[in-house]
Amino acid sequence: MRENRYQKLMNGIHTPAGLNDRVLAAARQQTAEKTERPLSRRARPVLRGAVCAACALALVLGTVTLRPAGPVSDGAGSTGDGTAALVPALSFGLTAYATDTGETVLPNANGGLAFTAGDGMANPETGDFTGCLFRVTGENIRTVSLSIDRGGLYRYILHTDMTDREIAAARKSMAEGTLTPAAISQNEDGAWYMPEMTALDNTVTEDYDPTVSYGFWVPPEEMIVDETMDLREESWANIDLFDRAALSVTVTFADGSSQSKTYQLSTGRLKAAYEDDGTLTILPQLAGDDESCVYGVYAVDEAESRWLEWPVRGANTISMSNPYGGRWQPGGKEQVFHNGIDIPAERGTPILAAADGTVTEVGFDAERGNYLVLDHGNGLETMYAQCQSVEAEEGDTVKAGQTIAALGSTGMSTGPHLHFEVRQDGESQNPVAYFDSDIRNTLQVG
């Protein structure tokens, strides 16, 4: 199984005793009740999201943005009062849905998408259809082109309310080998449904259909089949084929214009957490024993993402007791939201600027202790708290990697650490989403 240090670490973090077995047992029972006929190990549905209920992924909607029409004139593109008119500029995005609940998951502010592996199909003869599904979304799209530099892609169409004739035709096609083997299942209301999965190799260009989904496909010759592994380990190993892959998406619009985006992929266990407003967030964050997590693909938009350097010299541990997000107070009676991550290290360890910026605030208070805030432009800020001392002064311009403070244990702190926060337009963000995969692969939890 291909694993990096981060994934090995995450695989060592266990769910509460008995929870994983209970979820898997319930899911297998549900599958057995709904599936018309059993499938062998050679052609079997794969339940991948054993801990988290959602079985697909994240959301970035295609939008219509406004841009200046060009130089002001008395003709088209002018408002007539000497100001530039705004005309629509088409754009697209990627989206996916939880197939069981219909729930969508919003992207983080750094353009990251968490593709959660849901129900898929594995067959040594046709490959592994991982269940990591997405759709291209937007308005006035004419064609879509997809390519990936590792593994392959597949088209996914869900057939619902199937008639007896359609079921018979599907069985025949599967027997003849013209249709990928799939489970024909029944909803609680008695309606029959079936996923149609078509391997597309590593590139595809076709007319746009907003109802069609695409997924990550492991070709038969690259698929890991190991009878000594349990089904979860085997499916995770196949998903790892896409670690460090690049997914490129190009669309053409009805007006003849086109737009392209490239997403860098990484794989691993992703934390699933609900924010204060009820929004589900899935991020590549270290998950604790009592936290939900899923295994999947994390994708970042190369053009839109901003990356930070690690802020503590020589330390690569994130405190398990204080991760980003909701956590229970001692005694379990109240839940509070932790706006950053805590990075423990020895007192006096240099704290480094995570990116070029300007010091906008230096101070001390009872909660944060000694702290400072850096402004990195375009609404991005970082805060460094619980410091032993602060070396930078308000108004200073600093460079990424420059020492700005010393690590300590001031304010509301039970031991020496850096409390590190990331804010976008004043809203706290998960700091882990702002470190690239090279940094995330070195992280430990303690």
Q: What is the 3-state secondary structure (H, E, C) of 378-428?
A: CCEEEEEEEEEEECCCCCCEECCCCEEEEEECCCCCCCCEEEEEEEECCEE
How confident is the model at residue 335, as a pLDDT? 66
Within a domain: 81: no
Do 240 and 321 fall into the same domain?
no
Question: Residue-wise over 243-270: b if at least 16 C-beta within 10 A, else e?
Answer: bebebebbbbbeeeeebebbbbbbbbbb
DSSP state of 35: B
Which of 301, 336, 358 represents a domain boundary (last residue)? 301
Domain count, the chain: 2
Give, in order, the Cα–Cα distances in Å from 148 to each of 84, 163, 202: 40, 36, 5
Tokens of 332: 């379990």
H or E segment to which residue 301 belongs: strand 292-301
Residue 101 neighbours by CB distance under 10 Å: 12
**3-state SS track over 341-390:** EEEECCCCCEEECCCCEEEEEEEEECCCEEEEEEECCCCEEEEEEEEEEE
Looking at the domain assignment, is residue 31 inside a domain? yes
Which structural domain range is residue 388 located in? 317-445
- What is the C-alpha separation between 255 and 213, in angstroms, rounded? 24
DSSP classification of residue 278: S
Separation of alpha carbons 244 and 1, rounded Å: 15
pLDDT for 111 equals 79
Q: Are 382 and 259 contained in the same domain?
A: no
In a domain, 355, yes or no: yes
Total count of residues recorded for the chain: 446
Residues with Cβ within 8 Å of 5's Cβ and at least 6 positions away in sequence, in order, are 441, 442, 444
Query: Are residues 367 and 225 part of one domain?
Result: no
Residue 281 shares a structural domain with residue 408: no
| Residue 202 to residue 404: CA distance in whole angstroms | 46
Whether residues 234 and 373 share a domain: the answer is: no
Which amino acid type is present at position 141? Answer: I
What string of pLDDT tens digits covers the 446 residues of the chain? Answer: 344 433 333 333 333 333 333 333 333 333 333 334 334 445 555 544 433 323 333 334 443 433 333 343 333 344 444 444 444 457 787 775 544 445 555 567 887 877 766 667 888 889 999 888 888 888 999 999 999 999 999 999 989 999 999 999 999 999 998 999 888 999 889 999 998 999 999 999 999 998 898 999 999 999 998 888 888 888 889 999 999 999 999 999 999 999 999 999 988 777 766 666 665 566 665 555 556 667 778 888 888 889 999 999 998 888 766 667 666 555 556 667 778 999 999 999 999 999 999 999 999 999 999 999 999 999 999 999 999 999 999 999 999 999 999 999 999 998 999 999 999 999 998 898 899 888 887 877 77
Residue 13 maps to a domain: yes
DSSP tag of 108 = P
User: Among the three residues 235, 266, 301, which one is the final residue of a domain in this structure?
Assistant: 301
**What is residue 402's predicted lDDT score, i.e. its pLDDT?**
97
Are residue 330 and residue 218 in the same domain, yes or no? Answer: no
Contact at 8 Å (CB) between 167 and 192? yes
DSSP sequence for 40-62: -TTSEEE---SS-S--S--B---
Q: What is the pLDDT of residue 258?
A: 95
DSSP reduced 3-state for 93? strand
Could you tell me if 407 and 321 lie in one domain?
yes
Claim to verify: residue 274 and residue 329 sit in the same structural domain: no
